[in-house]
Structure 1
Amino acid sequence: MPKLTTKTLSTTSHGNGLVILESDGHFIYPGLAQTIFDDAVFGPRILKRLQRLFVDHPDGLSESGHDWYFGYLVCAYTQTHFGIKKLLNYPSVTKDLFSLCLTKLSE
């Protein structure tokens, strides 16, 4: 069974923290994708990006492209809210965002 450890980074601007779990040397960020998706500024940007991607890719999107689709928004969010310029293992968050978008579309 993988060993999980928890680290917390606090932000200077909002006072809440970013929960970071480490599992087998990989960082994961539980709840971060949902937080970004629900954000008043970044959520609409994600949905706007998704709509644009459907126009640009009428044959459909590939799950393997989630880093490219949403990576810059994840990095912008963590830099803005937590002062983190390069989020380690950000693809774990972009994959979750992709799944959230697919769920939103199916509703």
Structure 2
Amino acid sequence: MSELNHRKASGTAFVTGPWGERFEGATLSCCHCQFTWVLQKGSGKVRGFCTSCMRPHCGGSNCWECVPIEQRLENIEAGRPELTPAPVKVFVPGGAPRPFC
């Protein structure tokens, strides 16, 4: 493997070219859309890190706001816009949970 730090890698990609050349590289997955990319030092790609999920994201236009893939799927199933964030719930002692809006 290359000199990159692979401790946080999501997986490894193995690619064989048409003339038998082989490539091996560590991959990461976006915490918001599940896009997977190969780590390339100095590629110039703008990626991000979500401090809510504590995981990297791909840097796509829809991934800068924290809406994890599970929430996106729930939104689609419920007929809401895909990028609607999860509601924040506040628990009141001795009472029922109430949405915080």
**Relative to total residues, which structure has the larger helix share, 1 or 2?**
1
Q: Same fold (TM over 0.5)?
A: no
**Relative to total residues, which structure has the larger strand share, 1 or 2?**
2
Structure index of larger Rg: 2
